[in-house]
Structure 1
């Protein structure tokens, strides 16, 4: 009872007025904010306060891109919690406040609650009062939160400098320097000169880590200051025995790392974080990575090879200097270094063809890629060989397909490219790895057929993904070469995977004629009702297998736009739809326009209007806007020969660029750049 009373008293003191707010009228990422008060209370008194902070983070921030009304109203209470000495999750609360403030200063005003700016300005003095808090974890976290207070820079920066003089914790002192640097651009002439003098003085400090922090802070305050000029300072700091202090500095601890080793990853994080500070200074980034790629310390080599991988996935010019050093790391004693090096050799395509034997040498490397998956370095090596049509990958792939773990996911994953300085060792999905191996279908088909007769593992929510879906995707890519698997595909027609099986049977074509009687029974009859996907796919497959187009034309009816990809496949047989397809060329949606352009060309074989539509999409490259539709437009243009002309200048300029062309992240950056250059070269050769 006494404990309960103490709990209620604490809640009353630090969350005063919480229940007087109409939280149901406020919104967060998941809708009405009625659950926010309970989470704030849990942070205040529960033993699992950190979990409650995570839940609140999910609701108020989700994946970012906005500041919701619930965040504005919750902010004063979050500051209450940060001030309360008994709250165990105070550092986590400060991190949440900082992330909210970051979004408030980064996203467009229309995505920020109107009251946020005033609430944040009111919170800053209260947060600043915590700068001398007794809890060192609070003091080391706070500077990163305050670094978002650009509008109050003149208030915050002098306090940071004063606290740096008095604080005896090295991690806190480093964080204070970095925060001052972040706020420097917002300072007026009343504060800025003294900040610059202070940072320049710190650049000559006796402590190597202080010199490192000052060098990076100066690049924030003085845009013309090149971090590359401080390469010696950076190198000495990374090799300094006191580097581990960065393990308590938010800027570094927030840097993602996927290590599977016995270290805490601090050197790896620090190297990756420093690499990011160079920005587009490719030469300095290359020099920095080369400095540590051959280092005797495994953690530093891991950081260097990961930074080099991110660099090569963004720029082409460092390949000649970096690739030999990365190739040496494929035999590194440190498993993470081997993984990243092998991944780069696999993903970078023909730029690494001279090193293909190194991939074959890693087929026996069973080092796991992370704590959370069963993928191995050997799986990366097999993928790299598969994409080069190298048969040395086949025994490994057959073994994987036969075992409990495929070595690859069963669903394609597309991540954003908003972190160009981050590279991971995630491999492609199994259908992306095996797709290019049509010439070796005879070796792989027996084990694929066995898996199709077995259970369908790996689904998400019972429907998405799964082994059977991935394997039918492979068979669809292989087309007629998949004919021996027709019996297994027919067996899937009675399951909820039947449409995937039908698409694979359609790709096989006449060799799948055994299924024609089954499909015939399901064909759509003439009707005024709109067709659904199943009726169109079944009738389209029937045409691919029997050469009878009437059922699919009946199923599509007048719904030209929705089923344009099937009409494109029909070609001249869909001539009756040409006029309606033509009208779609002026649609508002870019993907609809390019699909219509391809369909029109496939039906009429006249590229005139279709090519113009596709060229308009490609010309958006001049605005430095990358969208997936650009690649689709290039694929269609590449089939139009001379008609693809009039975008020569844009494509030649893109090919001359050192920057890689991509829309998605991770290994897809390299794959998309290779495809872009291959298609652009083909188009230019034709025109």
Structure 2
């Protein structure tokens, strides 16, 4: 038990734990010496436990046999851990959990399933949507994962569209936009939400306008609604969509450039990214983004550090001045400290992946890929 507890403490604290620590976690879970903490870190492990996939798959089948209905907590833990490695053997259990209950109601935990092929994962989430009805967390989690599936979630269009008149509308609009042209049948409803036509002005009108563009290919409504938001002072709510529109949003360049000097860190970050996407000019954007990359950041969602790193990687070679700082942050031994233990490894792995991909985008492919191989 002491070995188990020490292993859990180490993998929660260290970005680069000795693989033997992950071995101890798997041993504890598969030998029925697990605890809540052990289960939580196993779910977050990702490819760090890929070498144990066969053992976990065998133990998953054992758990399914023990519970008959295949919806016990032990089944959920093992299915999610296996899914996090990208192993297709997790899918039958996930389908059963989606049908009978048991999939996580936590967005961070649900995101581990995004390692699976999107078409197969979308089918699982479609089942979850139909099964959970109006259950709040069931809907938000299913829509969160479907957004990762993109156009592969096309078969779920009708199920997602049913949520447009509910409290889940914002997430539903994001999914429909990610699906794209296959969701064109929802264009009129999205336009109504974006313009307030026939209904009260919708609080998510910018997201609706963006989704309308993505499903129809016509940027007119998105340019109008999101551009108006930027000019009116509700900047941070329109800037990400203008960034997605890129050069199509050139008419809004001046207010976007002005917002790079905003007092708000999120607005500055969004504006710098949007300016670069619209104009292709990285020179004003890079210093603004680099200034937001705090090497001492501990994961607080109040600061847009991870987003700034991601955008520097998108800019690529012109952001080369950021590379030494990003390498130093990636090499640090301690994980992010802000998130709760239940999501700490997930949050840190996501940050490490963002740092790695940013370095690859800039120029340091060899180094960053080697680092990511350690992260898993």
> TM-score surpassing 0.5?
yes
Instruction: Tell me what 1:586 maps to.
Output: 261
Residues 346 and 359 in structure 1, CA contact (< 8 A), matched pair in contact too: no
5 Å-filtered alignment, 1:253-402, equals 301=1, 304-316=3-15, 318-336=17-35, 340-341=37-38, 343-364=40-61, 366=63, 376-402=73-99
CA distance in 1, matches of 2:145, 2:16: 35
Query: How far apart in 1 are the matches of 2:19 and 2:173?
Result: 46
Deviation at 1:630, TM superposition (A): 1.6
Alignment RMSD: 2.9
- Alignment partner of 1:533: what SS? coil
Partner of 1:609: 284
d(CA) in 1 for partners of 2:9 and 2:241? 39
1:642 and 2:341 equivalent?
no
Give the conservation status (yes or no) of the 8 Å contact 1:365–1:377. Answer: no
CA distance in 2, matches of 1:334, 1:626: 31
Change (3 A) 1:406 1:625: closer
Shift, 1:545, TM fit: 1.0
Give 1:324 deviation, angstroms: 3.3
The correspondence of residues 55-66 of structure 1 with structure 2, limited to 5 A, is none
Alpha-carbon distance between aligned partners in 2 of 1:668 and 1:450, rounded to the nearest angstrom: 25
2:129 counterpart of 1:452? yes
In 1, the alpha carbon distance for the partners of 2:251 and 2:39 equals 52
In 1: Cα distance, 2:131 partner to 2:359 partner: 48
Task: Say which one has the larger Rg.
Answer: 1
CA distance in 1 between counterparts of 2:131 and 2:103 reads 18
Q: Given the two structures, how large is their TM-score scaled by the length of structure 2?
A: 0.81
| Contact kept in structure 2, 1:375 and 1:408, CA below 8 Å | no
Conserved in 2, the CA contact under 8 Å of 1:376 and 1:407? no
Select the residue among 203, 207, 210 that pairs with 1:540: 210
**Structure 2 residue corresponding to 1:672, chosen from 309, 324, 347:** 347
Structure 1: distance between partners of 2:325 and 2:284? 19
Q: How does 1:154-169 map to 2 (within 5 A)?
A: none
User: Quick one: structure 1 residues 380 and 586, their matched pair in 2 at CA, closer, same or farther if it must change by over 3 Å?
Assistant: same
Contact 2:14 2:335 (8 Å CA) reproduced: yes
| SS, match of residue 586 in structure 1 | coil
Residues 571-614 of structure 1 deviation map (CA, whole Å, 9 limit, x = unaligned) = 11111222211122222222221111111122112222212111
Are the aligned partners of 2:227 and 2:238 in contact in 1 as well (CA < 8 Å)? no
C-alpha distance in 2 between matches for 1:318 and 1:568 = 38
Q: Determine if contact 2:259/2:267 at 8 Å carries over to the other structure.
A: yes
SS at 1:379 equivalent: helix
CA distance in structure 2 between the aligned counterparts of 1:340 and 1:525, rounded to whole angstroms: 48
What residue number does 1:558 align with? 228
CA deviation profile, 1:532-554 (whole Å, cap 9, x unmatched): 53332222221111111111222
Aligned counterparts of 1:446 and 1:346: Cα–Cα separation in 2:
21
Superposed CA deviations along residues 305-339 of structure 1, whole A, max 9, x for unmatched, are: 23421222112455144333333323324343xx6
The question of whether the paired residues in 2 share the 8 Å contact of 1:614 and 1:633 is answered with: yes
Taking a change above 3 Å as real, the CA distance of residues 304 and 542 of structure 1, as seen in their structure-2 partners, is: same
TM-score between both structures, scaled by the size of structure 1: 0.46
CA distance in 1, matches of 2:25, 2:127: 39
Give 1:471's match in structure 2, choosing from 142, 145, 152. 142
Aligned residues: 346
Q: How much does 1:509 deviate?
A: 0.8
> How far off is 1:626 after superposition?
4.8
Sort the Cα spacing of 1:322 and 1:552 in 2 relative to 1 into closer, same or farther, 3 A.
closer
Please name the residue that 1:482 is paired with: 153
Q: Is the 8 A contact 1:536 1:555 kept in 2?
A: yes
C-alpha contact 1:345 1:356 (8 A) present in aligned 2: no
Q: 2:102 aligns with which of 406, 426, 433?
A: 406
Distance 1:571 1:357, change over 3 A: same
| Cα deviation 1:158-186 (Å, max 9, x = unaligned) | xxxxxxxxxxxxxxxxxxxxxxxxxxxxx
Residues 490/559 of structure 1: CA separation in 2 closer, same or farther (3 Å cut): closer
Q: 1:588 to 1:518 in 2, by over 3 A?
A: closer
User: Unpaired segments of 5 or more residues in structure 1?
Assistant: 1-300, 368-373, 413-427, 460-465
Shift of 1:662: 4.8
**2:102 aligned counterpart, secondary structure:** coil
* Gap change, CA 1:351 and 1:489, over 3 Å in 2: closer
In the other structure, the counterpart of 1:682 is: 357
Aligned equivalent of 2:187, options 505, 516, 519: 516
Cα distance in 1 for partners of 2:196, 2:103 equals 44
Q: CA deviation at 1:470?
A: 2.4
Tell me the residue number matched to 1:434: 113
Q: Return the offset for 1:615.
A: 1.1
